[in-house]
Amino acid sequence: MPPSPNAHGRTRIRREEVGATRRERKQRTREALIDAALRLLEQESFSSLSLREVAREAGIVPTGFYRHFENMQELGLALVDRSFRSLREMLRDARATADGDQRMIRRSIAVLVADVHEHRTHFRFIARERSGGVASVRQAIRSQIRLLGSELATDLARLPVLASWSTDDLQMLAALLVGVGVSAADALVDVAPGDEETEQEIASAAERQLRLITLGVPAWRSDQGGA
Amino acid sequence: MPPSPNAHGRTRIRREEVGATRRERKQRTREALIDAALRLLEQESFSSLSLREVAREAGIVPTGFYRHFENMQELGLALVDRSFRSLREMLRDARATADGDQRMIRRSIAVLVADVHEHRTHFRFIARERSGGVASVRQAIRSQIRLLGSELATDLARLPVLASWSTDDLQMLAALLVGVGVSAADALVDVAPGDEETEQEIASAAERQLRLITLGVPAWRSDQGGA
DNA sequence: GGTTTCAGTGTACATGTGTACTCCAAGATA
DNA sequence: TATCTTGGAGTACACATGTACACTGAAACC
């Protein structure tokens, strides 16, 4: 624990603070709580994060927390929501604007890398809690990722190469592709902030992995099982 | 928190317990601590696990913990070690005894599924902490998984189809295959204990994913970049 | 058989926790 | 203007936590 608990740039909210309507100020405190949590999550995991800690970092008194969230778990769900909001749209856009599977792959990876870059804290949270401690948070994250997969499967179904594929096989493929993305994001989150080279390597590896997979697609026959 | 903290079958260790040499008894208590931790980790994450909790569950007094581990983090590393010990050998064996890539895939997945089945607690721990809270534990797990990848890459290099591949591409392929395995294990850990059907589905999906990847292999050309 | 070692005990303490309660000042509403 | 509503403050309490310290009795050793 750092010696000075309120040391670095937390968002102090005070009654005296200038601010417009009451709703706006409440909203702002809510944001401050979310941001405070994300900031603290760079150092520790969600399940070991305490209500008091978050409140302190946000600059309000512990009991004030309850005006915004019933408990920490609810804060967790808000964090999941916040973290996934933009990514899903951006990915869908990326697939819509660029068709042709190779271009789609490059675009999607680029979007992912850029988003991880810009919202590192969100992705660190997601990566850490995807299999992590608090059950409801974990489930929320997984359901978001599953959604990502379904959306991808729907788009894939429109590609000529995949026209003859069964829904089951499409889901399998989509899950595989999403898995590669998740692994890449996982790896990116742990790259030192300045290290663009490693970042580039991870992106390139993910791209090549996706490309390898697409190479298998034309040869796929659902029923071929044995050696 | 459950009403009776010492309720279910924890391993009580007492001075009066019959036991042979002093070393053996110390070893047994150490095991009891590890087992206690694994038991508790079914309900909560490692970073929110307390030293007192583990000691209590193992049937010793809090301060007794220090006779075995310097702190919780060291316990965590012991858990990582314990969890990976058997799997790596089993996987290497599986690849050694069955050559021919399709058979290798089937065998490896079978080994993984069986091991997850038998040591569910280990894999739950690994899955949860792989991206989880305590840095040193996370790093230990990742290095084990990376090792898994390197070992696989070495074995892959011996396959005729991959003879011409660069080391870099082999690493990329190995990472992809290991990634599929990790995802599968992730999913398996959350299957309800009795539900063999879902288990079978996950295994089958992973197998198909691996098969699809191998289909891409003959078509791979390292330098082909564009659409 | 006497001495040493040491795994596990028991006590103690300062600190952090979640949450119940009352209070208040400023925004909302009439 | 007077009244109501409500974010947030302040106080309080009953816990749980990590670890320091002195202890004990049996195994290990001479």
| Backbone φ/ψ region at B13: left (φ over 0), alpha (ψ -120 to 50), beta | beta
Domain map of chain A by residue range? 22-69, 73-219
pLDDT score of B20: 78
- What nucleotides of chain D have any atom within 7 angstroms of a protein Cβ? 6-12, 16-22, 25-28
pLDDT score of A156: 94
C24 C1' to A51 CA distance, Å: 24
Which of B45, B170, B186, B200 is the best residue to mutate to test the A interface, defined by the most A CB atoms within 10 Å of its own CB? Answer: B45
Closest protein residue to C26 (Cα–C1'):
A15
> Which tens digit of pLDDT belongs to each residue from B123-163?
999 999 999 889 999 999 999 999 999 999 999 999 999 99
Residue A15 contacts strand D, CB under 7 A: yes
One of 1.10.1130.10, 1.10.357.10, 2.40.50.140, 3.30.450.20 is the CATH number of A73-219, namely 1.10.357.10
Asked if B153 and B171 count as a contact pair (C-beta separation under 8 A), the reply is yes
B159-191 exposure pattern, b = at least 16 Cβ within 10 A, e = fewer? beebeebeeebbbbbbbbbbbbbbbbbbbbbeb
pLDDT score of B227: 43
Of A206, A182, A179, A129, nearest in space to B205 by CA: A179
D9 C1' to A11 CA distance, Å: 17
pLDDT score of B191: 94
Do the chains contact at A215 and B215, CB–CB below 8 Å?
A: yes
Asked if B217 and A212 count as a contact pair (C-beta separation under 8 A), the reply is yes
pLDDT score of B184: 97
Class of domain B74-218: mainly alpha
Q: How far apart are CA B63 and CA A90, in angstroms?
A: 53
Asked if B189 and B87 count as a contact pair (C-beta separation under 8 A), the reply is no
Nearest-10 Cα torsion for B179, A79, A50, A7: 100
pLDDT score of B224: 67
Q: Residue B102 — pLDDT band, cuts 50, 70, 90?
A: confident
Q: Residue A1 — pLDDT band, cuts 50, 70, 90?
A: very low
Q: How many angstroms separate the Cα of B33 from the Cα of each of B8, B58, B84, B123, B141?
A: 15, 5, 18, 18, 20
pLDDT score of A20: 76
DSSP B175-198: HHHHHHHHHHHHHHHTS-TT-HHH
> Which tens digit of pLDDT belongs to each residue from A110-159?
999 999 999 999 999 999 999 988 999 999 999 999 999 999 999 999 99
Residue A61 contacts strand D, CB under 7 A: yes
**B80 pLDDT above the threshold of 80:** yes
Q: Which two tokens stand for residue A171?
A: 């889901």
How far off is chain A from B220, nearest CA to CA, in Å?
A: 7
Helices A196-216, A167-189: inter-axial angle, 10-degree rounding: 170
B21, containing H or E segment: none
Lowest mean pLDDT among A2-16, A26-40, B38-52: A2-16
pLDDT score of B133: 82
Q: How many CB atoms lie within 10 A of CB A65?
A: 20
C9 C1' to B212 CA distance, Å: 60
A22-69: CATH architecture: Orthogonal Bundle (1.10)
Q: Is B209 exposed, middle or buried (0-12, 13-18, 19+ CB in 10 A)?
A: buried
How far off is chain A from B111, nearest CA to CA, in Å?
A: 18
